[in-house]
Amino acid sequence: MLDNRATAAEVYASAVAARARDDLPSAERLAREGIALAPESPSLSVLLGEVLLAQGRYAEGWAYYDAWPRLAEAVGKITIPKLPWPMWRGEPLAGKSLLVHPTQGYGDQMMYARFIRQLGASKVTWVCNPALTTTLQGLGADVLELRSGVSLPICDYWSFPLSLPRWLGVTRETVPRDAYLPSHPVKTGGLNIGVCWQGNPDDPTDGLRSAPQSALQPLMDFGELVPLSPAQTGAQSFSETATIMDRCDLVVTVDTSVAHLAGAMGRPCWTMLPAHGADWRWGQAGREAPWYGSMTLFRQHAPGDWPRPWRISPPRSRGTCGDPGRSRVDARSPAGAEGSSWSVSRSVGIRSPLQPFVLTRVSSENRFPLFGTRSTASAPETRRP
């Protein structure tokens, strides 16, 4: 057993390295070899889950990824609560009550909150961090602030947020991508671009995800930059950040909770991702965000190449609203991809290869069509297996 554990640790290290360089077939093979040696290892299970999810193989990946709380507890990140009710395993919830207890960060809690209405429970109690309590109101759940000594209601079942899509049978094709948090856009003069270049410095992947402030400086040629990180705004809740975001025509951010808030609100959002090792939820290629319909993904061409996840040519003049002296943002396709560039056309929400997306100061009447609009289509139906 000791030899197996040592070998499993070595295989895990090799699988992590393969995942970091986006060699997902090798990472999958190594993770499976490691699990054969150490079936109870939450590290190997979560790694395999992330690799499968990154490939869009959600039906298979959720079961492995569900080991995340065990892994987080093993490394001292969380303590799994001792609750007197059974964990929900996909049982019918009609006439039943469910309590959802948080494990992961702000962005994850917002991302999984989209499933509240699909649960079909007579009552859902959603426990979340204080900064999210007002933000998640109105989704059909009783929102309860997570704090010491909080009194939990009696429920029939309980679950972690990350377990919900597993037991709802969510696949890559059935992820609801429409907005589910309220948004009340405020029209202002000029073009306001909300920006966030840094995530949680305590996150082990922050070195990959956060960008230097200088990476967003080229955007100053197109409009006014509006900081969205609480570190700059002093916002005490995501509701306060949402109010600031509603005054922005576009959000440009790295992979952090601000991206999830923008996507959940249906705000036009450009999310910058590292060249390698991007989080599983963004997939491995392409501009479309699997979890948010209003979001466009921009991937680095090379590690550390934050200034050019898109190509920006300087404007001929700053001008005024509607000035023809405009600037061009050309989002290049990955090497080997069909076509030479990708863009959002001036028609709302239409993605068009070869024609560059023109980013320019526009009148308030044309501002939202330029970046796309919030979808009002109903969410795709998902079924439990």
**DSSP class of 299:** E
Predicted confidence (pLDDT) per residue in 288-312, tens digit = 999 999 999 999 888 888 766 555 4
pLDDT of residue 201: 81
196 lies in the same domain as 344: yes
Name residue 127's amino acid: V
211 lies in the same domain as 357: yes
pLDDT at 127 over 50: yes
197 lies in the same domain as 287: yes
Distance (Å, whole) CA 41 – CA 37: 9
Predicted confidence (pLDDT) per residue in 2-52, tens digit = 456 669 999 999 999 999 999 999 999 999 999 999 999 999 999 999 999
User: What angle, 0 to 180 degrees and rounded to 10, lies between the N-to-C axes of helices 42-54 and 58-65?
Assistant: 160
379 in a structural domain: no
CB 146 within 8 A of CB 78: no
364 lies in the same domain as 234: yes
212 lies in the same domain as 123: no
CB 245 within 8 A of CB 194: yes
pLDDT at 104 over 80: yes
Report field, pTM of the whole predicted structure over 0.85:
no
Q: Within a 10 A sphere around the Cβ of 160, how many other Cβ atoms?
A: 22
pLDDT of residue 282: 97
Q: State the residue range of the domain holding 311.
A: 192-371
pLDDT at 385 over 50: no
Predicted confidence (pLDDT) per residue in 167-215, tens digit = 999 999 999 999 999 999 998 888 999 999 998 888 777 888 899 988 8
pLDDT at 338 over 50: no
**DSSP class of 131:** G
143 lies in the same domain as 10: no
Q: How many domains does the chain have?
A: 3
pLDDT at 380 over 50: no
Lowest-confidence region among 120-129, 216-225, 291-300, 323-332: 323-332
By the 10 Å C-beta count (0-12 exposed, 13-18 middle, 19+ buried), 40 is classed as exposed
